Amino acid sequence: MIDDSHTGDTPSACAAECRDVDHLLEGVRRFKARFYDEAPALMQGLVEKGQKPAVLMISCSDSRVDPALLTGALPGELFVVRNVANLVPAYAPDDGLHGTGAALEYAVRDLGVDHIVVLGHAHCGGIKAMLATAGGERQPREFVGPWVEMALAASRLHLPAEDGEQREMPLDHLKAVPFLAERASILGSLDNLMTYPWVRERVEAGSLSLHGWWFDLESGDLWVTDAPGTPLMPAT
C-alpha cells in the first residue's frame, strides 16, 4: 500500500482536515523580495536570455525530498522532472502520452544539459507499492500500480548475489530490505536512460554524464554512483 498519511478523498473529509496555504503565499512574498526586489539581476537574466540549466534532476514526487531545497540550487540551475518513485521508462516512442520522456527529450536535445541525476530516497511509497503489487496485493488505484511495476525487474537484477554475480533476487528478500530495491531501481532508471538514442549518443561522446543519487531520510546522508551499473556508495 502507498505510504500516505492523508487519505481523505471526499470534500467533507477535506473540509474537516485540509490545512491552509497562507504560509506558502508568504514564502512567495519572500522569494519575490529576495530575487525581484533586493537582487533582481538573476531573474532578469533568466527572463531575457532564457534558461540554460546544467542539470536535469529526475526525482520522486515525495514531499519530503525537494531537489532544490536539498541541493540549495538557485533559480535556473535545475531542470526538474518529478514522478512517483523517480522512474525513467525505457525508450518506446508511440502515440501514448509520455510526460517523463517529453521532459527528458527537451532537457537533453533543446536545453543541452550536461548532467542527468536520478534522485531516489529512503521510505519511498512508490517502491513500497511496487513490492506490494508484485506480492499480489492489488493497489486500489488506477495508475500507481502499472507505473511502479517497471521498477521490479530492475530492482531484482541490480542486486548482486553473495558471489557477486547479477541475478534475479527473490521478492521476499526485496520486501525485507526495501532500501536495496530503492537503490536498485535507480540503477534501472540509469539503464533505461541509455535506451534513448540521443542520450546514449551524448554519453558516449562525453558531453553528458549520468548520476544516481539516493537520499537517506533518517540520517540525511547521500549515496551516489557516477557510472551506470555500479553500486551506489556513501558520499556524505
Q: What is the CATH number of the domain that holds 106?
A: 3.40.1050.10
**Per-residue confidence at 150, pLDDT binned at 50, 70, 90?**
confident
Question: Coil, helix or strand for 160?
Answer: strand
Phi, psi of 181 (to 5 degrees): -65, -40
Domain span holding position 44: 1-50
| Mean pLDDT on 46-59 | 98
Q: Does 208 share its domain with 196?
A: yes
Alpha-carbon Rg for the chain in angstroms: 19
Q: Within 10 Å of residue 208's Cβ, how many Cβ atoms?
A: 20
Q: Does 77 share its domain with 64?
A: yes
Number of domains in the chain: 2
pLDDT, one tens digit per residue, over 194-236 is 999 999 999 999 999 999 999 999 999 999 999 888 889 999 8
- Say what angle helices 150-157 and 125-134 make with each other, to 10 degrees: 90
Q: Does 117 share its domain with 133?
A: yes
User: Do 126 and 143 touch, CB atoms closer than 8 A?
Assistant: no
Distances (CA, A) of 132 to 61, 155, 220: 19, 14, 26
Q: Pick the residue with more confidence: 220 or 131?
A: 220
Q: Does 85 share its domain with 156?
A: yes
Q: Does 27 share its domain with 57?
A: no
Cell of 23: 504560509
Q: Does 205 share its domain with 106?
A: yes
pTM of the model: 0.86
